[in-house]
Amino acid sequence: MRHLAMKEIPIDQRPYDKFEAMGVHALTEVELLAILLRSGDQTKNSLELAREVLELPEVNGVGGLMNVSYHNLVAIRGIGKVKATQLLSMAELVRRILNCKNEGMKQAYSDPDSIASLYQADLAYCPVEQVWLTCLDTKNHLLAREMLSQGTVNSTMISPREIYLSAIKHGAVGIVLVHNHPSGDCTPSKEDIDLTLRTLEAGKNLGLQLLDHIIIGGNAFYSLKEHGVFK
């Protein structure tokens, strides 16, 4: 089947014309990506190419662009080294903007929503499990974030000893553990609950408080404290 060239698409459906007529907020995710891609090739226009990128299994929507691989991008016909580099650079720039915005704010990270927002850009679509330590001062201001462990697609290894050695190094008074479930299901496992309770108990002997343990899965998160796993 012959594909439609961009000039053959109705003018109100062309991304550039729609942008000029209605503004950037009117554009769909496919249209925004098509503008970044600029062109397709002989077999597809930029809209079709953008749709193919967003339908990659590891992407499955615009959020997954944060973790798409260079190898899988260049495997798509119509995306060469330049387009792949531009897309990955755009994703990394968005990640840094989000992290800079969060870390630059002198706010109190005293609720699950604010903590989750610190990690959503990095962990929402991360393909492997990572465990992060969030170190807070007496007013719950952020002192440091540190990745403690990175595992396979469904497991990682960490101990309370490692957690508190890092917390002491950063001068923390309170800590929050954060990790992701690459499956997208943020329900805690038996191992997650066990690590939480062991860390809570170990902290009592050191005068350090585990404030929460948050699991991120896709755009959702689960607070073990909020759900009564510990007080």
76-101 residue pLDDT tens: 999 999 999 999 998 888 877 776 65
Domain 108-223 adopts which CATH fold?
Answer: Cytidine Deaminase; domain 2 (3.40.140)
**Pairing relationship of beta strands 142-150 and 209-217 according to DSSP bridges:** unpaired
pLDDT digits (tens, 9 = 90+) for 21-69: 888 888 898 999 999 998 888 888 899 999 999 988 878 777 778 878 8
* pTM > 0.75: yes or no: no
Give the closest residue to 48 by CA, choosing from 81, 72, 13.
Answer: 13
- With 50 as the cut, is the pLDDT of residue 1 above it? no
Cβ contacts of 108-113, under 8 Å, gap ≥ 24: 108/139, 108/140, 108/141, 109/134, 109/136, 109/140, 109/141, 109/142, 109/176, 110/140, 110/211, 112/212, 112/214, 112/221, 112/223, 112/225, 112/226
Domain range annotation of the chain? 6-99, 108-223
Q: Which amino acid is at 1?
A: M
Please report the pLDDT score of residue 106 as a whole number: 62
DSSP code string of the chain: -PPPPGGGS-GGGSHHHHHHHH-GGG--HHHHHHHHH----SS--HHHHHHHHHTSTTTSSGGGGGS--HHHHHTSTT--HHHHHHHHHHHHHHHHHHHHHHHTS-----SHHHHHHHHHHHHTT-SS-EEEEEEE-TT--EEEEEEEEE-SSS-----HHHHHHHHHHTT-SEEEEEEE-TTS--PPPHHHHHHHHHHHHHHHHHT-EEEEEEEEETTEEEETTTTTS--
pLDDT digits (tens, 9 = 90+) for 199-229: 999 998 888 999 999 999 988 999 999 999 9
Question: What's the CA gap between 126 and 216, in Å, rounded?
Answer: 10
Please report the pLDDT score of residue 3 as a whole number: 66
